């Protein structure tokens, strides 16, 4: 294999060659292993916790999107960052990467329904209206599960990014610097976070971008301490209070952990609320015989159950809680992107333009200064 040149024949085509469709599972595994070995330290493969097993087994690192992006950026010897996650995660890796690194998303159609719910133009309209009404300043906060364009918008407007682990600290910072916080794009994480900080539900208003003036009156905007963008995760929103009741009935004594992207009533009923990293830590430290019902994506729950056979780990509801867009990253796509790199061709590169990258970086750096 010749040396791989960065940026050679970079392609944005997202068309899996027929050849890969016909390979057996065993052949795919073998091809991926060989391509990875040929690339050696020049590639780093990142696997998000929600990624399917047949892909994540090839990951050098497993984690959430911020942790993975930072790990990859620190792997200076890696020219190529292959992100087995969704589009906004690959964008975050591209924002944080070292200058010489190239980020690849094996299937460019692997988007995130939540990130796609906050369009930059819609956010600009909301911003103008809310700033017009608020006399004491508005500070925007965006969840890391948002597009680079939204992160850049927030960076440019003196706001910060947050993660599910540090949303409380970032929101407290925002409210200390302005009369109101604008939280994008997950209504549930915003509400759960603000409520935990002692902000009552009637001091929050939901801005629906599909309605004139977000569906709010000027008085409702004026009264709100926190404006929540009407967006959600299609996976986590499916968990319902009745699922918790059922789990507690079927497994007396079971502990329920909900991800903060779940609805407010679900988080209120759960024993613990926390990020993927907190969920993993709780189960790992739970000890033999402990029982866990988990409200998050099914691949992480199943993996935790497999890795902890001496405890009971179940999904709060295993019906439909699969991140179908992340599932698009298949072994076929991973194989194709790696073999293309071996041949000196970059397929499915994710590249954020310089201006967007610069401002998104400002919003990310601000978060790191706050937490």
Contacts to ligand SF4 by CB under 6 A? 50, 86, 112-114, 145, 233-235, 297, 323, 325-326
Q: How far is the CB of 335 from ligand SF4 (least distance, A)?
A: 22
Give the Cα separation of 257 and 269 in Å (integer): 9
Give the Cα separation of 214 and 221 in Å (integer): 10
Is the Cβ of residue 86 or residue 352 nearer to ligand SF4 in the bound state? 86
Q: How far is the CB of 295 from ligand SF4 (least distance, A)?
A: 12
Is the Cβ of residue 317 or residue 339 nearer to ligand SF4 in the bound state? 317
Is the Cβ of residue 275 or residue 332 nearer to ligand SF4 in the bound state? 275
CA 284 to chain centroid: 22
Cβ density class 213-232: b for 16+ within 10 Å, e for less:
bbebeeebbeebbbbbbbbb
Helix axis angle for 87-96 and 65-74, nearest 10°, is 40
Is the Cβ of residue 273 or residue 326 nearer to ligand SF4 in the bound state? 326
Is the Cβ of residue 113 or residue 291 nearer to ligand SF4 in the bound state? 113
Q: How far is the CB of 149 from ligand SF4 (least distance, A)?
A: 16
Give the Cα separation of 230 and 232 in Å (integer): 7
Give the sign of the dihedral formed by CA 315, CA 51, CA 354, CA 361.
Answer: positive
Is the Cβ of residue 97 or residue 236 nearer to ligand SF4 in the bound state? 236
Residue 212: Cβ within 10 Å count? 7
Q: How far is the CB of 178 from ligand SF4 (least distance, A)?
A: 26
Q: How far is the CB of 248 from ligand SF4 (least distance, A)?
A: 24
Structure tokens at 263: 């609805």
Q: How far is the CB of 369 from ligand SF4 (least distance, A)?
A: 25
Q: How far is the CB of 17 from ligand SF4 (least distance, A)?
A: 26
Q: How far is the CB of 13 from ligand SF4 (least distance, A)?
A: 23
Is the Cβ of residue 163 or residue 325 nearer to ligand SF4 in the bound state? 325
**Could you tell me if 261 and 232 are in contact, meaning their C-beta atoms sit under 8 angstroms apart?**
yes
Sequence-distant contacts of 211-216: CB under 8 A, at least 24 apart: 213/129, 214/126, 214/129
Is the Cβ of residue 129 or residue 277 nearer to ligand SF4 in the bound state? 277
Structure tokens at 72: 């990859």
**H-only helix segments in the chain:** 18-21, 25-39, 53-56, 65-74, 87-96, 113-116, 120-133, 148-156, 167-177, 187-196, 218-223, 241-250, 264-269, 276-285, 298-307, 331-342, 354-370
């Amino acid at each position: 294999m010749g040396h791989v040149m960065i940026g050679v024949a970079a392609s944005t085509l997202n068309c899996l060659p027929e050849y890969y469709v016909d390979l057996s599972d065993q052949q795919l595994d073998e091809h991926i292993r060989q391509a990875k070995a040929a690339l050696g330290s020049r590639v780093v493969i990142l696997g998000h916790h929600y990624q399917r097993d047949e892909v994540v087994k090839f990951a050098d690192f497993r984690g959430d999107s911020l942790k993975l992006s930072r790990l990859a950026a620190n792997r200076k010897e890696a020219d190529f960052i292959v992100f087995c996650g969704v589009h906004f995660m690959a964008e975050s890796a591209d924002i944080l990467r070292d200058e010489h690194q190239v980020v690849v998303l094996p299937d460019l159609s692997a988007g995130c329904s939540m990130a796609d719910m906050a369009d930059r133009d819609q956010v600009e309209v909301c911003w103008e209206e809310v700033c017009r009404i608020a006399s004491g300043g508005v500070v925007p906060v965006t969840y890391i599960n948002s597009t680079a364009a939204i992160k850049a918008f927030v960076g440019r407007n003196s706001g910060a990014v947050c993660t599910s682990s540090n949303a409380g600290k970032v929101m407290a910072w925002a409210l200390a610097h302005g009369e109101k916080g604008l939280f994008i794009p997950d209504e549930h994480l915003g509400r759960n976070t603000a409520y935990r900080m002692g902000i009552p539900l009637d001091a929050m208003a939901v801005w629906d971008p599909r309605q004139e003036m977000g569906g709010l009156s000027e008085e409702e905007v004026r009264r709100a301490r926190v404006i929540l963008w009407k967006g959600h995760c299609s996976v986590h929103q499916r968990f319902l209070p009745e699922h918790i009741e059922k789990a507690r009935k079927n497994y007396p004594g079971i502990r329920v952990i909900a991800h903060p992207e779940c609805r407010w009533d679900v988080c209120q009923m759960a024993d613990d609320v926390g990020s993927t990293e907190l969920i993993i830590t709780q189960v790992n430290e739970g000890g033999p015989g402990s029982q866990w019902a988990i409200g998050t994506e099914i691949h992480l729950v199943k993996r935790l159950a497999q890795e902890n056979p001496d405890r009971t780990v179940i999904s709060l509801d295993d019906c439909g809680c699969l991140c179908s867009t992340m599932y698009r990253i298949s072994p076929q796509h991973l194989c194709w992107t790696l073999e293309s790199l071996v041949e000196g061709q970059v397929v499915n590169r994710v590249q954020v333009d310089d201006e967007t990258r610069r401002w998104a970086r400002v919003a990310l750096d601000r978060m790191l200064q706050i937490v």
